Amino acid sequence: MTLSPSLGFTHRRSGTLRVAAVSALAVTGLLATTAGATAAAPAPTRTTAAAAAAPDIPLANVKAHLTQLSQIAAANGGNRAHGRPGYKASIDYVKAKLDAAGFTTSLQTFTASGATGYNLIADWPGGDPNKVLMSGAHLDSVSAGAGINDNGSGSAAVLEAALAVSRAQLKPDKHLRFGWWGAEELGLLGSKAYVNSLPSTERTKFAGYLNFDMIGSPNPGYFVYDDDPTIEKTFKDYYAGLGIPTEIETEGDGRSDHAPFKNVGIPVGGLFSGADYRKTAAQAQKWGGTSGVAFDRCYHSSCDSLTNINDTALDRNSDAIAYALWTLSAGGTTPPGGTDYENTTPVAIPDAGAAVTSSIAVTGRTGNAPAALKVSVNITHTYRGDLVLDLVAPDGTAYRLKNSSSDSADNIVATYTVNASSEAANGTWKLRVQDVAAQDTGTLNSWKLTF
Ligand code: TRP
Ligand code: CA
Ligand code: ZN
């Protein structure tokens, strides 16, 4: 089943491309002192309308929603469970925020275990009604506690992402819809009721459903759902731009509200920071935290309170939601991979000599470069491991793409991802290449920036 075309993107795979996540090593001021040849900057090879940059979601706002959910639980017997007053109070809180921000909201009711359940649906006016991009989170807790990580975290982050859409007055190509589900903890009952209520003609209008359940776990992992490839790639690109490794979510596919959507053929994806599985030593190595301890020791317990949140994970995942919303909703006019700017003038690389640079002029863009700026490099080189590569932003900030010892190939045909979100997009970008050891020759054949 190929799901990605309904999102209007093609997912490109190539065996010859290596994608390396590169953390932003900001080394300012190097450009001014760099000696060496500089190739002219040709015009961009292709320009298209580009999506506006996604906003940074303020962590404080997400946490303020969690504080409210915590107080709602405290005032209602300590939980926000299906059929209890704390659940309906949670729904009322989220709905009031969305109504005030210009969303069209509706409550869907269903009956479960002898009690009325509620789903909250919020539509952002505009966009193509035949391409609905929905994001959702379950708002109910278990009865044992306040459910701040499970799933106040996803609920608050989706709410704040929706409010960011309103603040930006976003005019997406797709229609944006948001959902907060009831009775997830009783077996995905709210999301099942919603999907079952959709006539089959409505189901076909979904470009995708993004699910966020437990995204602020106190001993966090960074898991991306391995479902629709376009959605998965979007989240992975975001994390690659931060230089943070991700893993595929394996703690139980079908254990959250994306499952009913997936079961009727809607492309799904999402993020997860871990529940009751334990972090391995290898995972602690790459993400920090404590190995041998559950990602969330308070999973489904009374201690799933305000202190049961890792702020860094919650902040990153909230920003990733905004990135995905902005990126995926703007599809249709943007070709896969975005806009390319390329320099195809070859530059010789002297043996153990000065650095050479090749320039690309970027014009006609607004705002900053993306969090996942792609730098594709094509270099012919006759010896191993001697090249140092930097991307130099218009303001002179250098991003190290490759160290001399980090590559075993003679020829480099690679795409690096750089978080350049603090750099103005327009201006002259340079690729700086230096051969640092004797006895070889090389040529920078071409390179390309993809915004
Ligand atoms: N609320 C989910 C549950 O109780 C948490 C969960 C477990 C989960 N595994 C998951 C959420 C995998 C998303 C993906 O089952
Ligand atoms: Ca943020
Ligand atoms: Zn749960």
- CATH code, domain carrying 421: 2.60.120.260
- For residue 12, being part of any structural domain is answered with yes
Atom 3 of ligand 1: nearest residue by CA position: 255
> What is the extent of the structural domain holding 416?
340-450
What pLDDT, on a 0 to 100 scale, did the predictor assign at position 426? 87
Based on the fold, state whether residues 298 and 425 are members of the same structural domain. Answer: no
Based on the fold, state whether residues 48 and 105 are members of the same structural domain. Answer: yes
- For residue 298, being part of any structural domain is answered with yes
- For residue 335, being part of any structural domain is answered with no
Establish whether residue 213 lines the binding site of ligand 1, counting it when its CB lies within 6 angstroms of any ligand atom: yes
Closest atom of ligand 1 relative to the 275 alpha carbon: 7
To test ligand 1's pocket by mutation, which of 272, 276, 295, 299 has the most ligand atoms within 8 angstroms of CB? 272
Based on the fold, state whether residues 324 and 353 are members of the same structural domain. Answer: no
What pLDDT, on a 0 to 100 scale, did the predictor assign at position 354? 93
What pLDDT, on a 0 to 100 scale, did the predictor assign at position 316? 98
What pLDDT, on a 0 to 100 scale, did the predictor assign at position 241? 95
SS (H, E, C) the chain: CCCHHHHCCCCCCCCCCEEEEECCCCECCCHHHCCCCEECCCCCCCCCCCCCCCCCCCHHHHHHHHHHHHHHHHCCCCCCECCCHHHHHHHHHHHHHHHHCCCEEEEEEEEECCEEEEEEEEEECCCEEEEEEEEEEECCECCCCCCHHHHHHHHHHHHHHHHHHHHHCCCCCEEEEEEEECCHHHCCHHHHHHHHHCCHHHHCCEEEEEEECCCCCCCCCCEECCCCHHHHHHHHHHHHHHCCCCEECCCCCCCCCHHHHHHCCCCEEEEECCCCCECCHHHHHHHCCCCCCECCCCCCCCCCCCCCCCHHHHHHHHHHHHHHHHHHHCCCCCCCCCCEEEECCCEEECCCCCCEEEEEEECCCCCECCCCEEEEEEEEECCCCCEEEEEECCCCCEEEEECCCCCCCCCEEEEEEECCCCCECCEEEEEEEEECCCCCCEEEEEEEEEC
Based on the fold, state whether residues 297 and 360 are members of the same structural domain. Answer: no
Closest atom of ligand 1 relative to the 255 alpha carbon: 15
Establish whether residue 257 lines the binding site of ligand 1, counting it when its CB lies within 6 angstroms of any ligand atom: no
What pLDDT, on a 0 to 100 scale, did the predictor assign at position 51? 56
Q: State which residues have CB under 5 angstroms from ligand 3, the bound ion.
A: 150
Establish whether residue 183 lines the binding site of ligand 1, counting it when its CB lies within 6 angstroms of any ligand atom: no
- For residue 333, being part of any structural domain is answered with no
Based on the fold, state whether residues 313 and 402 are members of the same structural domain. Answer: no
User: Which of 296, 328, 360 finishes a domain?
Assistant: 328
Q: What's 272's domain CATH number?
A: 3.40.630.10
User: Which of 299, 328, 357 finishes a domain?
Assistant: 328
Q: How far is the CA of 275 from the centre of ligand 1 (A)?
A: 7
What pLDDT, on a 0 to 100 scale, did the predictor assign at position 33? 32
Establish whether residue 276 lines the binding site of ligand 1, counting it when its CB lies within 6 angstroms of any ligand atom: no
- For residue 155, being part of any structural domain is answered with yes
- For residue 272, being part of any structural domain is answered with yes
To test ligand 1's pocket by mutation, which of 213, 225, 246, 296 has the most ligand atoms within 8 angstroms of CB? 213
Based on the fold, state whether residues 184 and 164 are members of the same structural domain. Answer: yes
Based on the fold, state whether residues 280 and 363 are members of the same structural domain. Answer: no
The dihedrals phi and psi of 123, each to the nearest 5 degrees, come to -110, 135
Based on the fold, state whether residues 195 and 306 are members of the same structural domain. Answer: yes
Closest atom of ligand 1 relative to the 258 alpha carbon: 13
Q: Give catalytic residue positions.
A: 184
Q: Which ligand is located closest to the Cα atom of residue 298?
A: 3
Based on the fold, state whether residues 291 and 350 are members of the same structural domain. Answer: no
What pLDDT, on a 0 to 100 scale, did the predictor assign at position 10? 33
Establish whether residue 272 lines the binding site of ligand 1, counting it when its CB lies within 6 angstroms of any ligand atom: yes
10-residue stretch averages of pLDDT, the chain, 451 residues long:
37 31 31 39 40 90 99 98 98 98 98 98 97 98 98 99 97 98 98 97 97 98 97 97 96 91 97 98 98 98 98 98 97 56 92 94 81 90 84 96 75 85 92 89 92 87
Based on the fold, state whether residues 105 and 126 are members of the same structural domain. Answer: yes
Based on the fold, state whether residues 261 and 398 are members of the same structural domain. Answer: no
Q: How far is the CA of 57 from the centre of ligand 3 (A)?
A: 24
Give me the number of domains the chain comprises.
2
What pLDDT, on a 0 to 100 scale, did the predictor assign at position 32? 30
User: Which of 270, 303, 328 finishes a domain?
Assistant: 328
To test ligand 1's pocket by mutation, which of 140, 155, 181, 214 has the most ligand atoms within 8 angstroms of CB? 214
Establish whether residue 268 lines the binding site of ligand 1, counting it when its CB lies within 6 angstroms of any ligand atom: no
- For residue 178, being part of any structural domain is answered with yes
Taking alpha carbons only, the member of 449, 448, 450, 451 closest to residue 345 is 448
- For residue 334, being part of any structural domain is answered with no
Q: Which ligand is located closest to the Cα atom of residue 253?
A: 1
Distance, CA of 124 to CA of 171 (rounded, Å): 9
Q: CB 201: neighbour CB atoms within 10 A?
A: 7
Based on the fold, state whether residues 361 and 292 are members of the same structural domain. Answer: no
Q: Which ligand is located closest to the Cα atom of residue 256?
A: 1
